[in-house]
Homo-oligomer: A and B are copies of this chain.
Amino acid sequence: MANIRDVAKQAEVSVTTVSRVLNQHPYVTEEKRVAVERAMEELGYFQNINAIHLSTGETRLIGVVIPYINHSYFSTLLKGIADQALVQGYNLVFYQTNYMKEEEHKAFEALKQKQVDALLILSRASEWEAIESYQSFGSIVVCETASHETIPCVSVDHYEAFRFGMRYMVDQGHQKIGYCIGRRNGTNSKLREKAYCEELERIGQPFREEWIFNGCLTIEDGKRVVSEYAALNEKPSALLITSDQVAAGFMMEAQKQQIQIPNNVAILGFDNHPIAEALDLTTIHLPLHEVGVNLVEKVVKKDKTSTIYPFELVERGSV
């Protein structure tokens, strides 16, 4: 484990000179450079990155706060993040939180302790205030529709997307509309609930608690919803499902139970995951990969502005 001093000694130069060739600074003669390079070779020298981190106060590491690491929505986002991190020469450290504030807190502390230069929060349980109090330790960007005064956000406009979905269903002649949501008390979800209520009001329909299916994240959840739906006395004729995975689970199970889509119930998914095309599921395309890319760009540039990405309806056969 030779260090920079050993190399300097071996090459008969100062550590500064070694550091200079290491960092390709100008002002070092070809002669010395060669000597240093030979010494490094001979000693099998390599840099200790932690010493560099300590000295520079930078790590070129971005922390990513993510509830579930193998969830289709998040892993699409992640792909964009990872692709762009590669481009920018950053590495990623993952903090899988399961929406536990305690785990999110660990990520915040990592920023504070300079384990990472910056933080990307893909979804959160913590309050804005908690995040705000850590901003002085590094750049933080949140993947959320809500725009905060001082914390930059990048996301899709989930409120508008949902409202658009509602109107689309109404335009197709539906009045009795329910929906499936991942985590009802999440920020984006509250936005969607707001859009839902507003549209219901607009078309003069009552709010029916039992038409909101909560905890919908996976294919299995979609299957479960079919049973819940089937057990309903009064059934909605249309369902907005905020994840194509869940919608897919619903469709596959519905087929088994002879529930016809869209005849018995129309389905609108969100994401435009490949599974949607395979199942001929009408869905709202969300540019998640681009959001991921932008998240990294913003956090690296320390860009304090927020960006909202557009969504797009993809009409197929489920509505």
Could you list which residues of chain A lie within 8 angstroms of chain B, going by C-beta atoms? 46-51, 53-54, 57, 59, 61, 68-70, 72, 75-76, 78-79, 82-83, 86, 91-96, 103, 109-110, 112-115, 218-220, 222-223, 248-249, 252-253, 256, 274-275, 277-280
User: Do A218 and B274 have beta carbons less than 8 Å apart?
Assistant: yes
Q: In the complex, what distance in Å separates the CA atom of A236 from the CA atom of B50?
A: 56
- Indicate whether A70 sits within 8 Å of B61 (C-beta atoms), given known contacts A50-B114, A94-B92: no
A292, chain B: closest CB distance, angstroms: 10
Q: In the complex, what distance in Å separates the CA atom of A130 from the CA atom of B273?
A: 37
Query: Chain A: interface secondary structure?
Result: helix
- Indicate whether A114 sits within 8 Å of B49 (C-beta atoms), given known contacts A82-B96, A96-B82: yes
Q: In the complex, what distance in Å separates the CA atom of A118 from the CA atom of B79?
A: 23
User: Do A49 and B278 have beta carbons less than 8 Å apart?
Assistant: no
Q: In the complex, what distance in Å separates the CA atom of A107 from the CA atom of B96?
A: 21
Interchain residue pairs with CB less than 8 A apart (14): A49-B110, A50-B57, A68-B79, A69-B75, A70-B75, A91-B93, A91-B110, A91-B115, A219-B275, A220-B278, A222-B278, A248-B278, A249-B274, A256-B280
Q: Please indicate which of the listed interface residues A68, A96, A218 has the most CB atoms of chain B within 10 Å of its own CB.
A: A96
Residues on the B chain within 8 Å of A68, using CB: 79
